[in-house]
Structure 1
Amino acid sequence: MDLKFADAAKATDDERAAVDGLLGPPETGWEGGTDRTEEDLHWARGGAAARERRDLLLPALHAVNDRVGWLSEGALDYICRRLTVPPAEAYGVATFYSLFSVKPRPAKVLHVCTDLACAARGGSMALADGVGPDVSVQPSPCLGLCERAPAALLLQAGVPSRGSASDQVPYATAVMAPATAEAVASAARAPADAPDEAPAETAVPQAGQPGLTLLGRIGVVDPTDLDDYRANGGYAALRRAFAIGPAAVIREVTDAGLLGRGGAAFPTGRKWQATASQPDHPHYLVCNADESEPGTFKDRVLMEGDPYALIEAMTIAGYAIGAHQGYLYLRGEYPRALARLAEAIGQARARGLLGDDVLGQGYAFDIEIRRGAGAYICGEETAIFNSIEGYRGEPRTKPPFPVEKGLFGKPTAVNNVETLVNVLPILNGRAEETKLFCLSGNVARPGVYELPFGATLRELIELAGPPRTVRAVLLGGAAGSFVRPDELDIPLTFEGTREAGTTLGSGVVLVLDDTVELPRILLRIAEFFRDESCGQCVPCRVGTVRQEEALHRIQDRTGAAAAADIALLREVGQAMRDASICGLGQTAWNAVESAIDRLGAYE
């Protein structure tokens, strides 16, 4: 195998130390790029053993980026040699993610959210006007801090890890939400670590109220204390799962009618049963915590405020489907959730709640966190597999489906955070099913709300303090649909929203008042899909660009010219919906279409 390494590229001591800290030191006699002969360039040391570690490519890129701040040619060369990955492929992976850079940049990188919720609250790149030249400033899609919009996130490389856990946050962070120009400038000057100390319950206006199921522990139980979690009902569901067995767990989840809460609403019990019945082993469980839909932050709140609940739920799911390894794929923009989950996993492992013999039941299960690096498309279930395996996060063609051939080609169940956490009350005998909603925009009390299915959109908005005038409400995020002010009595169920011509999606409810310029919001949605398309299929790669171009033209046109562009938009949108490989392209036209048809956006 001719890897064509670059002779001129040499990793620095820092870069080598970062990679060796993850992969371990090279074997004795491994040349690693020194005094190579021409013959050496046509083979790599390590063989099959190194190739089997291809899935450590993304963590290795993170290790160098966290320590140095960018990925040099020498660092990529060293990673490729250690893992026997072709350099062209490693470069393709490194350039796929927005949190990495293959060009030199300052150690401090400021991400300023310019997405829907922050834009509705006055967020813009002007927040970064006061930072100095030693800070790289980047506009960012939604940072998942919508309840405190506008938001900004500062990442600083080269800072030692916090805490004792080996996989704690390995870089300094400063979370500014709500962000002001003064706060951003101050954080950019501060060389020390400045973690976000806002308690998780600030995102839950209902915190402490009786009757909450999924949010009941947030603001009541210390999320860093395993004993406090267990004293408040923690691990009762797992004990019951062991008592009734895997088949009965799947049956109870199926009978409860639990549908996936990531947007697709697929029956969870059917997915688990299909995975468990596959003869091919091993089986895997993947928790999709790459919550990147603009306006969505419920999974972040659950992970920060109740991390042990997710760990317990993943253990139950793994037990039900016959998996012994779980992967938690976490958004790269969630440093606080990373710290909380890493510490919680370490504590659970130390107390026998993860590992070779969970609760002394003879069942082995463990969880590994894999950090994303800024790619919305990795929220698609098969793109997650490619990302974990060390490839570009591009969706796979289905069939085969993940329950047959998923992660590493083995049967895999993929569920998002809210779906998994719902399993706990099901096994504990919950009487009423509830749903989490991410309410943001022009309301008095934005945050995550928990309501029983069947409550109306109007009732939800009333809880948050509606604006004086509602211009429109976006349901389901950028991939969702707008509804009019006279449609607020829509029942918030999967069936009710479908009958009304909209969708619950991931639970986004973005309220816009009459101060918001709707064409600007539509352009931002179009820009988002243009940037986040992986480019694998032509309908999405070209269609998202044409959609944005047409919206720009419509702003400056009237009459027949505007009508022609709207007709073009419909044609392009239908092509994306019919022919795109995955849900990104298939839904990229939804919000724009609903704004034109329901709101008369360009009349």
Structure 2
Amino acid sequence: MDNPAGSLVAEFPRERTGLLPALQAVQEIEGWLSSEALAAVAEHFRLPVSEASAIATDYEVFRLVKPGSHLVRVCTGLSCRLTGGADHLRTLENRLGIARGQTTSDDRLTLEEADCLSMCSLAPVLEVDGTCHGRVASAAVERLPMWFGTRRPFAVNADASDFPQVHPVGRTARERLADLRSRAEARARKRPEFRFLVQGGSCGEALGAGEVVKALRLLTAMRGLAAEVLDGACHGMCSAGIVVEVQRSGWPRLTFTGLTKDAVPDWLSALVGGEAPLTRFDGVCWNDEGWRGLPAVSRHPFFAAQRRVIMERCGHLHPVSLDDAILSGGYAALARVLDDQTPEDVIERVKACGPEALAAATEWEVCRNALATTPSYFVVNGEEGRCGRFTDRHLMEGDPQRVLEGLLIAAYGAGTNRAIIHINGTARFSFDRLARALAKAQAAGLIGDRILGSAFSFHVELRRGPRGFVGGEEQMLLRSIEGQRASPETTPLPPPEVGLWGKPTVISTIATLAALPPVISDDSGRTRILSVSGPVSRPGIVEVEAGTTLRQLLFEVADGLRDRRPCEGVLVAGPSDVLLSPGSFDATVESLDAFSAGAGGLIAIPAGEAPGYLRPRGLTRDR
């Protein structure tokens, strides 16, 4: 094979499980799957070309027609449609003289419609040459060429050199974790005086946070400030523009919103130049009193009604720093489990935490009882790709070590020794940050053989998939990992007993795993994470008590519709989308599962704009 595709796929093992990742890798380099590329892939995996072509056809992400030099995708998911996405698509069609799915006559540009780009809180969203842009106004659509770039092949830097291989000492898991913590504390004492965490990840890139990072690094250097400027994560305030968290010894944590590169000089001068009030800038102080004119978090309109347990670290730590996670209590729940609890204890503890937890723990129990047919697997559905649901990406990008800790606890209960975390291939930041977090956890002995000196060993593989899978599509998820066609079995086998490659398999979600450390630490209460989007004033990710009503979420936390139009209903985004009428707004978030089990998002619908395929339904507080 003398073509580029042949050289690329040669890097993949020839087992069929590598088929879909190989197809993705080829498309990212060449922009599409040519007949020559498909032939090279088929030859490497010892398949008929017709079968490789059929599999590529099954997954919409694969492109079998060569696109133009630039690829523009306009999101027309419900949140984007309600905020102008469909108008943007029509504008581009008229301006370019082509319909969606077509390429200009000079082969310069291909225009596509995207079902959902999973950035609903920044609607409307456009993707240009692989980079997303959020909150796109009509004027920006007219200046589309300013976003043209070179499509980038996917690459991950999983270097763990800033956390070298260590062998923690101690007689128990707690003692070994304490040793890791003491090492982290020693490194933390050497940090610069100031620490700036600039909102990064998917949200940050789509809003242009990279320019703020550059400006802040330049200005701190010019001022001679001892500071580090890091690519942070989103606090959940997706609507607040670019967010910067400031950390300094002796100061409370400060979070500023709506910053731009042009505002950075004035803001930095006010922040470090004295003790004057900071009331000219929007922000919040993470204490009970406030500070220099900034309101305390308990008085902030977005955070006041929330109780952050699962998301308590999102936005406050450097996402890929294992030191930050450990210094914030990371892996303490795992150490407690390894020292004090049997797998059966873990299962019973989780069963007592509500219907979703009961279902998950029961699946672990079934898998554990089937271990005579080892090996067994733990499959994580890492990104569902459903319109209105983007909580998984937020957790993977904001606190990947919590996700890994939850996975270890769940696997200990289920008795599995290997995990495959399946992540939607479009979720670049999720994969990158989990890969880097995983490398550091392995270097510290938190994942691998005899974890923290215990008898428990566990190994994790990250896998990029061609799409996301919603609840109810577990068989299709497993077939994707196996490199099979996407069509589900006529009579699906129950995954706990006969799942991946016919072995006992547990399938779980990111949100379920992230909730486990607080459960073990007796600090869970009953909270729920939901994404809120559509034309509301404050879209984002929220974590609230289970008894919070939809009315509180929509009109207090999210501050109602932007133009104060009446709200016709709210779409409950889950495995089965359901539109609830205003008569249901006094129902609690806990009751959402009555209509859509595993519901993870809410999309507010203005009057007269409900999708034709949905009919409003009622849900009372008691039902």
Q: Which residue of 1 aligns with 2:336?
A: 240
Aligned partner of 1:325: which letter? R
Find 1:72's aligned residue among 15, 34, 41: 34
Separation in 1, partners of 2:388, 2:472: 14
Q: Which residue of 2 aligns with 1:393?
A: 486
Aligned partner of 2:484: which letter? Y
Find 2:364's aligned residue among 267, 272, 276: 272
Q: Which runs of 5+ in 1 are unaligned?
A: 1-10, 24-49, 156-172, 261-265, 524-591
Separation in 2, partners of 1:91, 1:304: 33
Find 1:221's aligned residue among 312, 317, 340: 317
Q: Contact 2:384 / 2:468 at 8 angstroms: preserved in 1?
A: no
Q: Which residue of 2 aligns with 1:153?
A: 127
Q: Which residue of 1 aligns with 2:271?
A: none
Q: Cα–Cα, structure 1 residues 75 and 326, in superposed 2: closer, same or farther, change >3 Å?
A: same
Q: Cα–Cα, structure 1 residues 357 and 107, in superposed 2: closer, same or farther, change >3 Å?
A: farther
Q: Contact 1:476 / 1:507 at 8 angstroms: preserved in 2?
A: yes
Separation in 2, partners of 1:71, 1:149: 30
Query: 1:429 deviation in Å?
Result: 1.1
User: Going by fraction, where is helix more abundant, 1 or 2?
Assistant: 1
Separation in 1, partners of 2:148, 2:472: 34
Q: Which residue of 1 aligns with 2:283?
A: none
Find 2:452's aligned residue among 353, 359, 383: 359
Query: 1:72 deviation in Å?
Result: 1.9
Separation in 1, partners of 2:63, 2:471: 18
Q: Contact 1:283 / 1:321 at 8 angstroms: preserved in 2?
A: no
Q: Cα–Cα, structure 1 residues 375 and 314, in superposed 2: closer, same or farther, change >3 Å?
A: closer
Query: 1:85 deviation in Å?
Result: 2.2
Query: 1:113 deviation in Å?
Result: 0.7
- Mapped pair 1:63 → 2:46: no
Aligned partner of 2:59: which letter? Y
RMSD after superposition: 2.7
Find 1:464's aligned residue among 542, 552, 558: 558
Q: Contact 2:406 / 2:516 at 8 angstroms: preserved in 1?
A: yes
Q: Which range moves more in the overlay, 185-194 or 234-243? A: 185-194
Q: Contact 1:490 / 1:497 at 8 angstroms: preserved in 2?
A: no
Separation in 2, partners of 1:83, 1:348: 32
Aligned partner of 1:200: which letter? A
Q: Cα–Cα, structure 1 residues 212 and 119, in superposed 2: closer, same or farther, change >3 Å?
A: same
**Identical-pair percentage:** 30
Q: Contact 1:472 / 1:512 at 8 angstroms: preserved in 2?
A: yes
- Mapped pair 1:384 → 2:480: no
Q: Which range moves more in the overlay, 243-252 or 56-65? A: 243-252
Number of positions where the alignment pairs a residue of Structure 1 with one of Structure 2: 462
Separation in 2, partners of 1:176, 1:94: 28
4+ runs of 1 displaced by more than 6 Å?
none
Instruction: Map 1:117-132 to 2 at 5 A.
Output: 117-124=79-86, 125-126=89-90, 128=92
Query: 1:228 deviation in Å?
Result: 0.3
Separation in 2, partners of 1:179, 1:22: 39
Query: 1:398 deviation in Å?
Result: 4.7
Q: Contact 1:386 / 1:393 at 8 angstroms: preserved in 2?
A: yes
Render the CA deviation track for 1:555-590: whole Å, top value 9, x for unaligned: xxxxxxxxxxxxxxxxxxxxxxxxxxxxxxxxxxxx
Q: Contact 1:127 / 1:179 at 8 angstroms: preserved in 2?
A: no
- Mapped pair 1:102 → 2:199: no
Provide the secondary structure at the position in 1 that maps to 2:234.
Answer: helix
Query: 1:477 deviation in Å?
Result: 4.8
Aligned partner of 2:479: which letter? N
Separation in 1, partners of 2:128, 2:415: 40
Q: Which residue of 1 aligns with 2:443?
A: 350
Provide the secondary structure at the position in 2 that maps to 1:249.
Answer: helix
Q: Cα–Cα, structure 1 residues 339 and 127, in superposed 2: closer, same or farther, change >3 Å?
A: farther
Render the CA deviation track for 1:364-396: whole Å, top value 9, x for unaligned: 222222222236569711111100000122333
Q: Cα–Cα, structure 1 residues 365 and 128, in superposed 2: closer, same or farther, change >3 Å?
A: farther
Instruction: Map 1:491-570 to 2 at 5 A.
Output: 491-494=588-591, 498=594, 502-503=595-596, 505-514=598-607, 516-518=608-610, 521-522=611-612
Q: Contact 2:318 / 2:324 at 8 angstroms: preserved in 1?
A: yes
Separation in 2, partners of 1:464, 1:491: 16
Query: 1:71 deviation in Å?
Result: 1.3
- Mapped pair 1:230 → 2:230: no
Find 2:579's aligned residue among 476, 482, 490: 482
Query: 1:107 deviation in Å?
Result: 5.6
Separation in 2, partners of 1:379, 1:110: 31
Separation in 2, partners of 1:128, 1:434: 42
Q: Which residue of 1 aligns with 2:131?
A: 174
Aligned partner of 1:191: which letter? T
Find 1:144's aligned residue among 118, 142, 167: 118
Q: Cα–Cα, structure 1 residues 512 and 200, in superposed 2: closer, same or farther, change >3 Å?
A: farther
Q: Contact 1:296 / 1:438 at 8 angstroms: preserved in 2?
A: yes
Find 1:303's aligned residue among 384, 387, 396: 396
Q: Contact 1:480 / 1:505 at 8 angstroms: preserved in 2?
A: no
Render the CA deviation track for 1:265-286: whole Å, top value 9, x for unaligned: x611111101111021111001
Separation in 1, partners of 2:374, 2:237: 41
Render the CA deviation track for 1:169-200: whole Å, top value 9, x for unaligned: xxxx4121123463672454233869556553
Separation in 1, partners of 2:470, 2:410: 24
Q: Contact 2:235 / 2:314 at 8 angstroms: preserved in 1?
A: no
Q: Contact 1:497 / 1:504 at 8 angstroms: preserved in 2?
A: yes
Query: 1:12 deviation in Å?
Result: 4.8
Q: Which residue of 1 aligns with 2:539?
A: 446
Q: Which residue of 2 aligns with 1:84?
A: 46
Q: Which residue of 2 aligns with 1:19?
A: 9
- Mapped pair 1:203 → 2:297: no
Q: Contact 2:499 / 2:505 at 8 angstroms: preserved in 1?
A: yes
Q: Contact 2:376 / 2:416 at 8 angstroms: preserved in 1?
A: yes
Q: Which range moves more in the overlay, 283-292 or 377-386? A: 377-386
Q: Contact 2:381 / 2:469 at 8 angstroms: preserved in 1?
A: no
Separation in 2, partners of 1:366, 1:477: 30
Q: Contact 1:115 / 1:142 at 8 angstroms: preserved in 2?
A: yes
Separation in 2, partners of 1:598, 1:283: 42
- Mapped pair 1:189 → 2:148: yes
Q: Contact 1:195 / 1:336 at 8 angstroms: preserved in 2?
A: no
Q: Which runs of 5+ in 2 are unaligned?
A: 97-103, 153-203, 210-231, 241-254, 256-285, 287-296, 299-306
Structure with more contact order per residue of length (Cα contacts < 8 Å, sep ≥ 6): 2
Q: Which residue of 2 aligns with 1:328?
A: 421
Q: Which residue of 1 aligns with 2:462?
A: 369
